[in-house]
Amino acid sequence: MYTKNRQRLTAALLLLCVLCGCGVQKDSQQKEKDSLKIGVSVYDQYDTFMAEVISQLQSYARQREKDWGIPITLDIRNAEQSQIFQNSQMDDFIEDGCDVVCINLVDRTDASSVIEKAKSSDVPVIFYNRELVKEDLERWEKLYYVGADAFESGRMQGEILVDQCRKDFSSIDKNGDGVLQYIMLEGEAGHNDSMSRSMSVIQEITENGYTVEKLADEIANWNRDQAASKMSSFLELYGSRIEVILANNDDMALGAVDALHDQGIEAGSSEWPMILGVDGTAVGMRAVENGELLGTVINDAKGQAQGMLELARAITAEKELDQRFQLLEGKYIRLPYRKVTGETI
C-alpha cells in the first residue's frame, strides 16, 4: 500500500513538472512573438542614399515600437562592399536569433550563399534597394524585395531633359548642331540599376525625336569623388562640347558639379551643362534648388524603410501587410519614383 501511494505521488509530481515545463515554454514563445529583431546589412554605409534609408528605418522603428507596443531591435551592419563579408554577416544574424534579415546586396548576381543560409535556418530575407535576379528570388517562398523599378527612374530622368529641350533647346544645344552631346556616369559594371537607368534615359530622349552623341561613359561606382575625378578628365578632353551630363545617382551628379567648380565654371553660366541625377538625396535636392542640377528623380528612402519594417512585422506576426503597401506576386513591394526640377521643388 505504501509502495503504491509512493508511486502515485511520484507520478503526480512528474506530471506537475511536465505541466510547469510546458507553461514556461509557452511563455517563452509568447515573449518571442511580442518582440521583433531584424538584422540589416547595407552594401556601403557611406553611400548617401543608403545612409538616408537606414536613418529612416531607425526613426520608423522607434515610432512603431510605440504603435505596436513591442521592442524592435535593429542590428545594422556595414558590408563594406564585400559580398564575402556580407555572407558572414548573414551567419551572425542567424546565430543571434534575428526574426528577419534585410539585405542590401553587394553583388546582386551572387545571392546564393545568403539564400541557402536563410533557407536552411528558416529565416525570412527581405532584399532591398539593389534588386537581385528574379530567378534567385523565386528559389524560396520566404524571400522578398522592397525597392523601385530602376528602368522607370531612367525614363523619368529622360523626361526632365526632354521637357527642357521643348522649352528652350538652344539652352542645351550650345554649339547649335542639333545634337545633344553627353557624358554618362554609371554606377557599377553589370549592376541592374546602372544598366537600366543608362539605357532607359537615352531611350526616352531619342524616342521623343532628339539626336544624341555619347562623348564618353565611365563607371564611377555611385561615388562622388570618383565621379569628380572622371569628370575632370572629360573636361580636359571635351571642354565646352559637353552639353549634358547624365548620372545614375545624385552623388555622381554632384561629383560632376565639383569638377566644374574646380575648373572655375559657375552654375547658370553659358559653359554650365545640363546635369541630371537620381535618388533625390538631401544634397541632391539642394543642388536642384540652387540650379547646379537640372533635376533629379526621387527614390523613396522613407517608403523603402517603412515597407521593409511593415513587411518584417507582417511576416513574423502572420498579420496582413499595412494597406499602404501592396505585395506584388507575393514577393515585391515597389515604391514609385517622382521627378523634381527647380520649378517643382
- With a pLDDT cut of 70, the percent of the chain lying above it is 90
Given a contact cutoff of 8 angstroms between Cβ atoms, the answer to whether 182 and 212 are in contact is yes
290: closest CA among 245, 243, 228, 345? 345
Find the radius of gyration of the CA atoms of the chain: 26
State the first-to-last Cα distance of the chain, in angstroms, to the nearest integer.
91
Pairing status of strand 125-128 against strand 179-186: unpaired
Please give the model's pTM, rounded to 2 decimal places.
Answer: 0.88
Q: Report residues of the chain scoring pLDDT below 70.
A: 1-33
Per residue, the 3-state secondary structure of 88-154, as one string, reads: HHHHHHHHCCCCEEEECCCCCCCCHHHHHHHHHHCCCEEEECCCCCHHHHCCCCCEEEEECCHHHHH
List pLDDT tens digits, range 103-125.
999 999 999 999 999 999 999 99
Give the pLDDT of residue 4.
40
CA gap 208, 160 in Å, rounded: 12
Dump pLDDT digits (tens) for 226-284: 999 999 999 999 999 999 999 999 999 999 999 999 999 999 999 999 999 999 999 99
Structural domains of the chain in order of their starting residue, each with its CATH number? 34-148+301-336 (3.40.50.2300), 151-298 (3.40.50.2300)
- In this prediction, residue 43 carries a pLDDT of 97
The reported pLDDT for the residue numbered 25 is 34
Q: What is the structure's pLDDT at 9? A: 35
**What is the Cα–Cα distance from 24 to 316, expressed in whole angstroms?**
21
Q: What's the confidence (pLDDT) of residue 345?
A: 85
**CB distance 11 to 68 below 8 Å:** no
